Amino acid sequence: MNPYIVFLTGLGVVILCIAWLPMLLRNAPLSLPIFCVLLGFGLFAAPGVGPDPNFIVQSNFIERITELVVIIALLGAGLKLDRPVGWRRWRTTWLLLAVTMPLSILGIALLGVWTLGLSLPGAILLGAVLAPTDPVLASDIQVGPPRSGGEDEVRFSLTSEAGLNDGLAFPFTNLAIALAAAAAAGGMAPGWWTVEWFALDVVWKLAAGLTVGWAVGRFLGFLVFRLPAEARIADTREGLAALGITLVSYGVTELVHGYGFLAVFVAAVTLRHTERSHDFNESLHTFSEQIEKLLMMVVLVLFGGAIAGGLLNALTWQAALAALAFLFLVRPIAGFIGLAATGLPLSEQSVIGFFGIRGIGSFYYLAYAVNHTELAEQQLLWSITGFVVAVSILVHGVTVTPVMNRLEARWRRRDPRSPGEGANPSGVSVRSPLHDQPGDEGEAREKRGARETNSL
């Protein structure tokens, strides 16, 4: 059996599934990622189909392909947020980032040391790998496309958290790499390497990611929306520009040694709010979503194949129990602590805490660390990460539809208006984005009227 032909056939099945399966699974307690993992497992478990997509041996390839899918997902997440940035409007997000995520990293690291006997660098790396909510696999519980409505607090907080926490996981990933290097040099006592890590990996790279992302977003916003009509990119309606925006914002930031993940999301949010009501935002989002789904499905098919090829071979029963504790104890408890001061109903705090989905971003961080340092525990870390992601895909994929249906039914009983019509079911004081710029609403009505006239 020719592996190349098998690959082409599998890729064709994956592409067809992008268009077909979401419609079939819309109201089913099943997700597209589950199908992709099962497909990959079936394809690569067949005799004579090789080579196995071993995540450890091919960590350079895994780093690059997961890097690409994550940055495209981050662009899409930033573009679809209708709510303007603000301390009060984004309060839930800031608490998830400032409280829930560090507590999750700490809890995972402590469990790694106490129950699995991991070294300090390995435990911190495991925390950084498993703490972030994934912007790719969490799409089923994120807000809808631009101007689609229904931006309730649960969906908004998980979308914005996923957009920002991928960049904030990097300092801890780099801390693990620095600790491993210090240990190899003879000790992990604080010293010059600590100062260098804090100054470069925390202060500079975070500041560069935020600053360059904002600057690129503003500049691209001018090119896209503010130039004269004959030169304005937005008037082309060419969604392919989304890929260019992603690569430029990521590449420029990485060239100045900043966090490109953070910059892509910030650039997307800045670009979106340059002209919130323009139809071009929807074109950009649609294109980025299609590319994201294609790459996501390819990675998940490979992930299924990696499981068939022995990715979980190093998993012990102690490691499996620790992994389940990471998912079902550490994140939910950290979520409750972080959201305690928000005033959100307990049911919404529970959903936000529970649906901290782990996924493709976790593979990226682990591959990045493995490619930049030597870790004796890397096989165990790959097995734990693979097991956590597999359980997250299964459990969260099966439960997301019924859980959100029940939550939305509760919101409708509380407020007769549906969330899609502007209701604020969480009770958090948030103004509609259209009310912050008076001209936008009239412009949107004018555009809708023009479209209706043209259709006639």
By the 10 Å C-beta count (0-12 exposed, 13-18 middle, 19+ buried), 199 is classed as exposed
Residue 80 corresponds to which amino acid?
K
Out of 64-68, 151-155, 255-259, 268-272, which region has the weakest mean confidence (pLDDT)? 151-155
Residue 72 CA to residue 294 CA, distance in Å, equals 11
* CATH architecture for the domain at 3-418: Up-down Bundle (1.20)
pLDDT in tens, 209-223: 999 999 998 888 887
What are the helix (H) ranges across 312-359? 317-325, 331-339, 346-354
CA distances to 111, 158, 322 from 424, in Å: 38, 16, 37
Q: What is the mean pLDDT of residues 425-454?
A: 39
pLDDT band, very low/low/confident/very high, at 382 (cuts 50, 70, 90):
very high
Instruction: State the average pLDDT over residues 271-294.
Output: 80
Higher pLDDT: 307 or 191? It is 307
Q: What is the pLDDT of residue 427?
A: 40
What is the per-residue pLDDT for 213?
Answer: 93
Q: Is the pLDDT of residue 190 over 80?
A: no
Over residues 71-116, the pLDDT tens digits come to: 998 988 888 888 888 888 899 999 999 999 999 999 999 999 999 9
CB atoms within 10 A of CB 406: 12
Compare 270 and 144 and report the one with higher pLDDT: 270
Q: How far apart are CA 4 and CA 268, in angstroms?
A: 37
Q: What percent of the chain has pLDDT over 90?
A: 34
Q: Considering just the CA atoms, what is the radius of gyration of the chain in Å? A: 22
The answer to whether the beta carbons of residues 335 and 100 sit under 8 Å apart is: yes
Q: What is the pLDDT of residue 206?
A: 94
Question: Could you tell me the residue ranges of all domains in the chain?
Answer: 3-418
- pLDDT tens by residue, 246-265: 889 999 999 999 999 999 99
> Once rounded to an integer, what is the mean pLDDT over residues 258-277?
88
Mean pLDDT value of segment 276-289: 77
Query: pTM (2 decimals)?
Result: 0.84
Contact 137, 393 (CB under 8 A): yes
User: 133 pLDDT exceeds 80?
Assistant: yes
pLDDT tens figures, 399-427 = 887 888 888 888 777 765 554 434 444 44
Q: Which residues contact 334 (CB under 8 A, 6 or more apart)?
A: 99, 100, 101, 103, 104, 107, 353
pLDDT band at residue 50 using 50, 70 and 90 as cut-offs: low
